[in-house]
Chains A and B, each alone.
Chain A
Amino acid sequence: MSDGRIGDVLLKVEGVTLSFGGVSALSDVGLEVRRGEICAIIGPNGAGKSSLLNVINGVYDPRRGSVTFRGVRRRRMRPHETAKQGIARTFQNIALFKGMSVLDNIMTGRNLKMRAGLISQAIYWGRARREEIAHRMAVERVIDFLQIEAVRKVPAGRLPYGLQKRVELARALAAEPELLLLDEPMAGMNVEEKQDMCRFILDVNDEFSTTIVLIEHDMGVVMDVSDHVVVLDYGRKIADGTPDEIRNDPTVINAYLGVAHA
């Protein structure tokens, strides 16, 4: 699948080491993600996949190592900064704002693009009003894309699990990110929902050329959707390559089947 869709390196992670108290979450992990590709991170539970996303995103501060995004190399960017740079993400346990409506949740995704000052918002005239309308239109496009029109006024906390995941994805998309980090976007979904989600992810990559890094457990999905697969186990990278290469890699098979190793 190496067509013109995939470009040069957008994200580079080098030598990242992270630990909590005495527990080591990541040891010397590195990978490269190319512009326009869909990269899947897989591995048994507790392998450190979410922690890796959290490091890329600036939520965790690694003890060692660096993250290079768009050519700029840092040990850590603050989460707010990563958002500004064009990284958006979803969380394993759904980090929606439960007290707000779906529409408002997705509108928060546009937050960085809105400039109107406090007074303008208080009077709701001029710039603030224009921005509200303009960004509402952008948000409606995302709502349309993910087919959640029917629930746009419902408080997010009241939605069923599958829809909540979709709303979270919508919020991430509303920011028009260059890099999208998805943490188990299909966890807890049935077959139909998974198919929908797969289609959405592929569409996002196709229509908006968004680079996607996703954590996923379902091997079928991983093989179908990704261009590039990275395998983690006990905080270390044990394999890195195309889906076919990974499928046949003995180290990976051992890790999943739990053959005793040091």
Chain B
Amino acid sequence: MIYREAGQFKATYEKDQQIFPIRQDRIVFAGVLIAGFVLVPLIGNDYWFNAILIPALILSLATLGLNILTGYAGQLSLGTAGFMAVGAFAAYNLMLRVPHMPVLASFFLAGLVAAAVGLAFGLPSLRIKGFYLAVTTLAAQFVIEWALTKFGWFSNYNPSGVISAQKMVILGYRFESPVRRYLLTLGVVSLLALAAKNLVRSRVGRSWMAVRDMDVAAEVIGIPMLKTKLLAFGVSSFYCGVAGALWAFAYLGSVEPQAFDLTRSFQILFMVIVGGMGSVLGSFLGAGFIVLLPIFLNVAAHSLFSGGVSQSLASNLELMVFGALIIFFLAVEPAGLARLWQTGKEKLRVWPFPH
């Protein structure tokens, strides 16, 4: 009864096309925003910020990036972490070598650098499709990892290729404490998520989905293949690049190229699958789920086997659960948690009636 659309009429197309047409959704979302920006900083503790919220938010951003490329535009990519690495190292170098570089600007520019690299590796997508393209993105992943390790310039000649991110100071405020880093991350991610939502419901988003669903028909309608696919690679890599920069600056503090390896790319792909391909909300749900899962498994293992399990067994169990989850989601609900959420809302609409 609470979740009904009755009485909510849209008199203009503008109203019909807003992101949350149903008033209850708007209220809930406002609540989430308030909780995120106001409540959580007040009641959260450092562990939650450092180990859960910040990485989950940053990975949501990367998942959003991959979702744009794979979920909306249908171009399978296994090189996500490579583009994150580009962003991280680009931001570091910009802050290092350009005097008076503002932090946020360096993130933005780092994103652009990642976008440029993404465009370059995206060029083959014109002729190559499906999992052949996946192999091309593997090339991107390995080349980037290799280049960042081999050429000392990127890490300022650090012997292990590690970069130590500079401290973030914006307008005199130091963003060092967990709460502040969390707020900064939340701010950046929220803005970019809004931009992504706008993009996918505009012309460019429709072009991407058209290319994904049936590219021959898309061409016939007049959707430009090259431009559309390159835009997908570019925008996606931009998001991944910013996520990489945040990973280095707002989360880890110091990072080496191996933090952005193939396993990380798979992790983000899993987040897209679990959360739901082609869904902005899904990106957040998937990232949150995968970040929380090991913690949940740990707790479950501790209660099932008092005294806990060995570290190696735990990490192997994690691998198995991840693998099984992927298969499960693909078989049972390929549209991921986002679809489950949708279905839940539909049921709620007619609640307390069954249908």
Contacts and interface: CB of A to CB of B under 8 A. Distances in A.
Interface of A: 57-59, 78-80, 82-84, 88-89, 91, 95-100, 104, 107-109, 111-112, 114, 116, 118, 121-124, 128-129, 131-133, 136-137, 140, 171, 175
A133 B13 contact: yes
Contacts of B278: 99
A108 B207 contact: yes
Given A82-B220, A95-B217, A104 B206 contact: yes
A79 B14 CA distance: 33
A104 B209 contact: yes
B25 interface: no
Given A97-B214, A122-B199, A132-B13, 7 more contacts: A59-B216, A79-B216, A95-B216, A99-B209, A116-B202, A123-B198, A133-B17
Interface of B: 13-14, 17, 195-196, 198-199, 202-204, 206-207, 209-210, 212-214, 216-225, 231, 235, 278
Nearest to B214: A95
Contacts of A97: 209-210, 213-214, 217-218
- Which of B195, B207, B217, B225 gathers the greatest number of chain A CB atoms within 10 Å? B217
13 contacts: A58-B220, A78-B219, A80-B219, A83-B220, A95-B217, A100-B213, A107-B203, A116-B202, A121-B198, A124-B202, A131-B203, A132-B202, A132-B203
B209 A121 contact: no
Contacts of B203: 107, 111, 114, 116, 121, 128, 131-132
B199 to A, nearest CB: 5
Contacts of B14: 129, 133
Judged by DSSP, the binding face of A is helix
Nearest to A172: B221
B210 A112 contact: no
Contacts of B225: 80
A136 B224 contact: no
A109 B213 contact: no
Nearest to B213: A97
A89 B206 CA distance: 19
A116 B220 CA distance: 21
Nearest to B217: A95
A50 B14 CA distance: 40
B222 A80 contact: yes
B17 A171 contact: no
A118 B209 contact: no
- Which of A58, A122, A133, A137 gathers the greatest number of chain B CB atoms within 10 Å? A122
A57 to B, nearest CB: 6
A171 B278 CA distance: 22
A121 B199 contact: yes
A111 B231 CA distance: 15
B221 A111 contact: yes
A175 B203 CA distance: 14
Contact of A136 (B13, B219, B222): B13
Contacts of B198: 121-124, 128
Given A83-B221, A112-B222, A118-B231, A99 B212 contact: yes
Contacts of B204: 118, 121
A138 to B, nearest CB: 11
A171 B221 contact: yes
A109 B221 contact: yes
A79 B210 contact: no
Contacts of B220: 57-59, 79, 82-83, 89, 95
A99 B202 CA distance: 15
Contacts of A118: 199, 204, 231, 235
A7 to B, nearest CB: 25
Contacts of A88: 221
B206 A107 contact: yes
A96 B218 CA distance: 9
A194 to B, nearest CB: 24
A108 B17 contact: no
Contact of B223 (A89, A104, A111, A116): A111
A174 to B, nearest CB: 9
Contacts of A123: 195, 198
- Which of A78, A80, A116 gathers the greatest number of chain B CB atoms within 10 Å? A80
- Which of B13, B203, B209, B216 gathers the greatest number of chain A CB atoms within 10 Å? B203
Contacts of A80: 219, 222-225
B210 A175 contact: no
Nearest to A118: B204
Q: Which 8 A-B pairs have the closest CB atoms?
A: A83-B222, A95-B217, A97-B213, A121-B202, A124-B198, A122-B195, A112-B222, A79-B219
Contacts of A140: 13
A59 B214 CA distance: 14
A116 B214 CA distance: 24
Nearest to A174: B221
Contact of A108 (B13, B199, B210, B235): B210
Contacts of B195: 122-123
